[in-house]
C-alpha cells in the first residue's frame, strides 16, 4: 500500500483527510495515523493479547438509531437462496421433461428451461452431446437464442447441417419456431410458456412456497438466487476504518462495494462472514492518550465519542509539531511510553484504549446502520495473536526468498515475480503491516467457520494498494499455505478507483456524515414540494435519508468499480436520468399502481396463500409485456454474471434497463378502466417487475421504498 510519509508539521493542514486503515485512493496518510504497508511504523510483537477481553467482538446493531432500518421489515432483507426442497413454479410440473446439465437450475432460472430445450433439439437432431449443445446456446440479433453450428466441428457444410436441424424441429411448449441463417440456428421461444413460467416463478420465490421464511414467518425474497455456492465459506473484509477517527467520505467505496459483494455471495448460497478489520493499535493511541490527559472531556466523549477524540487528536498533534524547546519531542516520547505500556499489558493503559475502541465502534455501527450495512465481526490489528505473529516471522526468516539487509532490516525479494522487494521486519525486530496481514490470514483460516476455514477470502481495497496485495498474496503462496497457492488460491483482491471532487455543496469538508446529511436534506426539500404525497409518508426525514443514500450508492456503483468517477451533486440528486432517486421513484410508482388498483377497483393480487390460477396469464399478449417478462426472466442470469466479474455496475445497469422498459409500458399496458381479468393480469406483470426491481435494490444494499 506504500506511500510518501508526511512530516508532522504538515499534519494539521490535512488532518481531516485521514480516516482509513485500508486507505482508498482518495486520501493521504500521515506516519502518525498510518497503518498502511510501506510506511515504516513500529509494531512490536505484543505479549498481552491472550488476556484481552475483546477478541473478535460481535457488536449488536446500534439501538435506538434514527436511521435504523430494523422497522422496514422485509424491505431490508437481502436476497436469500430458496429452500433446497423448492420444486419450482406450479406450471413447471405441467411441462415436458428436459435433460439434465450440471449447474443448470430450471426451478430457479426460468430461461434455463428454454436453453435446455434448444440443447435437447440440437443434441437429438445433430448427434451432439447435450452439455456441449447447452454451452453453445447464446443470444443473437435474430430470435431469442442462437446456436453457431461451426462450434461443433461436424463434417459437412454448415448450411446442410443447419437445414438438417431445422427439418427435425417441431414447435413445442418451449420453442415456437426456428430460423436458419447459416451457419446459425435462431430459436424463438414459446411466449405463453415464457410468460406463465416466469411470472409464476417470480411470485412463488418472492411471496410463496419458494421464499424462505424469517423467524416471524415473513417471506424473504429469493427470486434470482441459486445454490451454486452451497456449503462454501467466504470472508469479505471491507471498510476497516481507524479507531477514534470520523468516517471520511473516502470510506464510501470500500464499504458499499464490500457490502454488495457480501449480499451477492449470499444470493449464491455461500456462507458469508463480513469482517471489519479496524486500525485499532499503534503509537497513535499513545498520542491520543496524552492528548486526552490534556484536553479530555468525559461528557463530550459520551455524547459524541468519535468527533471528541478526533478533536483531541488534532490538538495534541498541534502540540507535537512544536519544535521550540523540544516540546513536540516530549509529547512524542510520552506517547511512546504510553504505547509501550499498552504493549506490556498495563491494565490502566489498556482500559482507556478499550474504552476509546468500544465507543468508536458504537458510533461506527450507527453510521453503518444508516447505510443499511452490518458486520459479523469487528476485528482489528490488536487481534493478531503473539504466537501467530512469531510463527509467521520465524517461517519467513527461514524462507529462501527472504534475506537480511546490511542495515538489519529483513526483506522479501519478489523481484523475480515483478513485485519488487518488501520489508517484513524492521532492523529492531518489529514486524510491519504485511507481516501482521500474513499472521492474520493464517489465523482466520484456522479459526473461521468453526475451524473449517474459508473457501475464499476477499479484500475490498483501493487500487492504489494493488502492489501491496499482490506482494501479500505472493508471500503467502511462497510460504506454502495450500489455500494461497496460485492454482487454487482462495485469496482475492477486489480493487476500485478514486472518487474525484468529493466535497459538500457548501465547502470542502469531506466527512461522510456531511455528505449523507446534505443528500438527505436535499431529498427532503424535493419531497416537501408535493404536500399531498408528503402528508402520506410516515417518517419523511427517514425516507429522505434512504433516498439520499440511494443517490450516493447508485452514483458510486453505476460504472465499473476500477474507474475513477466525479462526485456530481446535481446529477446524483436528480430524479431524471440514470440516478438513484429515479430507481426509487419507479419502485414507488409500481407500489402506488398496485395500491390504487386495490383501493379504487377492488383488484387484489394473490398472496402466498392464494391460488395463482386466479390470474389468467393467457391474456398477456402485448409485445411490450413480452419484453418485460423476458427481461425479468433474465434476472437470475444477471446475478450469476455479477458473480463472475464482481461488478456492482452489472446489477445497476440491469435495474436501469428494467425501469426504462417499465416506463415505456404504462400507456400500452393500462390497468385502470380495463376489463377485470385483463387488468388483474397486467397488474400481476407490474407486481413481478416491482419484486425484481426491489430485489436488485436489496442486492445493492438499498431499501426499496413504497412511498416518497
The residues annotated with a catalytic role in the active site are 245, 248, 251
- Cα–chain center distance at 543: 22
**Rounded-to-integer distance, Cα 90 and Cα 610, Å:** 13
**Residues 14-45 as b or e (16 or more Cβ within 10 Å = b):** ebbbbbbbbbbbbbebbbbbbbbbbbbbebeb
Name the DSSP letter for residue 700: T
**Rounded-to-integer distance, Cα 271 and Cα 446, Å:** 16
Grid coordinates standing for 93?
410440473
**Residues 588-611 as b or e (16 or more Cβ within 10 Å = b):** bbbbebbeebeeebebebbeeeee
Number of residues in the chain? 708
The DSSP annotation for 218-260 comes to -B---TT---TTTT-EEEEE---BBTTSPPBTTHHHHHHHHHH
* Alpha-helical segments (H) within 101-140: 110-126, 130-135
**Rounded-to-integer distance, Cα 502 and Cα 626, Å:** 42
**Rounded-to-integer distance, Cα 40 and Cα 320, Å:** 19
The DSSP annotation for 69-104 comes to -GGGGGGGPPP-PPPTT----GGGGGSPP----TT-
Closest CA to 700 of 371, 463, 378: 371
**Rounded-to-integer distance, Cα 700 and Cα 264, Å:** 9
Closest CA to 527 of 588, 601, 612, 455: 588
Strand partners, 379: 277
Name the DSSP letter for residue 175: E
**Residue that the C-alpha cell 447435450 belongs to:** 130
Closest CA to 460 of 491, 429, 418, 504: 491
Spatial CB neighbours of 280, under 8 Å, sequence gap ≥ 6 = 242, 243, 357, 380, 381, 382
**Rounded-to-integer distance, Cα 333 and Cα 339, Å:** 10
- Angle at Cα 677 formed by Cα 675 and Cα 680, nearest 5°? 105
Q: Are 35 and 242 in contact (CB under 8 A)?
A: yes
DSSP three-state, residue 620: coil
For residue 292, the number of C-alpha atoms closer than 13 Å in the C-beta half-sphere is 24
Q: Are 443 and 385 in contact (CB under 8 A)?
A: yes
Amino acid at each position: 500500500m506504500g506511500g510518501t510519509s508526511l512530516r508532522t508539521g504538515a499534519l494539521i493542514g490535512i488532518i481531516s483527510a485521514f480516516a482509513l486503515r485500508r486507505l482508498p485512493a482518495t486520501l493521504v496518510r500521515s506516519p502518525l495515523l498510518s497503518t498502511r504497508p510501506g510506511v515504516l511504523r513500529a509494531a512490536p510483537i505484543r505479549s498481552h493479547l491472550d488476556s484481552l477481553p475483546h477478541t473478535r467482538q460481535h457488536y449488536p446493531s446500534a439501538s435506538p438509531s434514527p436511521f435504523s432500518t430494523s422497522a422496514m421489515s422485509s424491505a431490508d432483507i437481502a436476497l436469500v437462496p430458496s429452500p433446497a426442497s423448492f420444486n419450482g413454479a406450479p406450471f413447471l410440473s405441467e411441462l415436458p421433461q428436459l435433460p439434465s446439465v450440471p449447474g443448470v437450475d430450471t426451478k430457479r432460472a426460468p430461461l434455463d428451461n428454454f436453453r435446455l430445450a434448444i440443447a435437447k433439439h440440437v443434441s437429438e437432431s445433430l448427434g451432439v452431446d447435450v452439455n456441449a449443445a447447452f454451452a453453445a446456446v447464446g443470444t443473437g440479433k435474430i430470435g431469442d437464442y442462437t446456436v453457431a453450428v461451426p462450434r461443433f466441428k461436424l463434417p459437412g457444410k454448415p448450411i446442410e447441417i443447419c437445414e438438417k436441424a431445422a427439418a427435425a424441429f417441431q414447435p413445442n411448449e418451449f420453442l415456437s419456431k426456428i430460423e436458419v441463417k447459416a451457419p446459425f440456428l435462431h430459436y424463438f421461444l414459446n411466449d405463453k410458456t415464457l410468460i406463465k413460467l416466469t411470472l409464476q416463478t417470480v411470485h412463488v420465490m418472492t411471496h410463496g412456497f419458494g421464499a424462505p421464511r424469517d423467524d416471524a414467518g415473513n417471506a424473504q425474497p429469493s427470486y434470482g438466487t441459486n445454490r451454486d455456492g452451497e456449503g462454501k465459506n467466504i470472508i469479505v473484509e471491507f471498510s476497516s476504518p481507524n479507531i477514534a477517527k470520523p468516517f471520511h467520505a473516502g470510506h464510501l467505496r470500500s464499504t458499499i462495494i464490500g457490502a454488495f459483494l457480501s449480499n451477492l455471495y449470499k444470493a449464491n448460497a455461500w456462507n458469508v462472514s463480513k469482517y471489519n478489520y479496524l486500525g485499532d493499535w499503534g503509537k497513535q493511541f499513545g498520542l491520543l492518550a496524552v492528548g486526552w490527559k490534556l484536553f479530555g472531556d468525559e461528557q463530550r466523549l459520551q455524547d459524541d465519542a468519535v468527533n471528541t477524540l478526533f478533536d483531541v487528536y488534532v490538538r495534541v498533534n498541534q502540540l507535537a509539531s512544536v519544535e521550540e524547546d523540544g516540546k513536540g519531542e516530549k509529547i512524542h516520547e510520552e506517547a511512546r511510553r504510553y504505547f509501550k505500556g499498552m504493549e506490556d499489558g498495563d491494565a490502566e493503559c489498556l482500559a482507556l484504549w478499550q474504552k476509546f475502541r468500544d465507543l468508536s465502534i458504537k458510533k461506527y455501527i450507527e453510521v453503518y446502520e444508516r447505510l443499511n450495512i452490518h458486520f459479523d465481526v469487528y476485528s482489528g490489528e490488536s487481534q493478531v495473536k503473539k504466537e501467530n505473529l512469531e510463527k509467521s516471522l520465524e517461517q519467513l526468516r527461514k524462507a529462501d526468498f527472504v534475506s537480511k539487509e546490511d542495515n538489519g532490516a529483513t526483506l522479501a525479494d519478489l523481484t523475480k515475480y515483478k513485485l519488487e522487494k518488501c520489508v517484513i521486519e524492521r532492523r529492531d525486530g518489529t514486524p510491519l503491516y504485511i507481516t501482521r496481514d500474513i499472521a492474520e490470514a493464517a489465523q482466520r483460516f484456522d479459526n473461521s467457520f468453526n475451524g473449517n476455514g474459508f473457501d475464499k477470502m476477499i479484500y475490498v481495497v483501493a487500487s492504489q494498494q494493488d502492489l501491496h496485495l499482490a506482494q501479500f498474496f505472493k508471500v503467502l503462496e511462497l510460504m506454502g499455505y495450500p489455500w494461497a497457492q496460485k492454482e487454487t488460491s482462495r485469496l482475492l483482491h477486489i480493487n476500485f478507483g478514486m472518487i474525484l471532487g468529493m466535497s459538500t455543496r457548501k465547502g470542502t469538508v469531506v466527512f461522510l456524515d456531511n455528505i449523507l446529511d446534505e443528500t438527505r436534506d436535499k431529498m427532503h426539500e424535493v419531497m416537501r414540494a408535493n404536500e399531498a404525497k408528503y402528508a402520506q409518508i410516515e417518517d419523511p426525514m427517514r425516507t429522505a435519508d434512504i433516498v439520499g443514500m440511494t443517490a450516493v450508492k447508485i452514483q458510486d456503483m453505476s460504472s465499473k468499480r476500477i474507474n475513477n468517477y466525479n462526485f456530481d451533486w446535481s446529477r446524483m440528486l436528480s430524479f431524471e436520468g440514470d440516478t438513484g432517486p429515479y430507481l426509487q421513484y419507479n419502485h414507488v410508482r409500481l407500489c402506488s399502481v398496485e395500491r390504487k388498483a386495490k383501493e379504487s377497483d377492488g383488484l387484489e393480487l394473490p398472496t402466498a396463500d392464494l391460488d395463482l390460477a386466479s390470474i389468467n396469464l393467457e391474456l398477456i399478449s402485448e409485445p411490450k409485456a413480452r419484453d418485460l417478462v423476458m427481461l425479468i426472466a433474465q434476472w437470475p442470469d444477471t446475478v450469476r454474471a455479477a458473480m463472475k466479474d464482481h461488478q456492482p455496475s452489472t446489477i445497476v445497469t440491469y435495474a436501469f434497463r428494467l425501469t426504462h422498459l417499465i416506463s415505456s409500458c404504462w400507456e400500452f399496458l393500462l390497468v385502470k378502466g380495463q376489463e377485470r381479468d385483463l387488468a388483474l393480469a397486467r397488474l400481476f406483470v407490474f407486481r413481478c417487475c416491482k419484486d425484481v426491481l426491489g430485489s436488485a435494490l436489496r442486492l445493492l444494499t438499498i431499501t426499496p421504498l413504497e412511498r416518497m
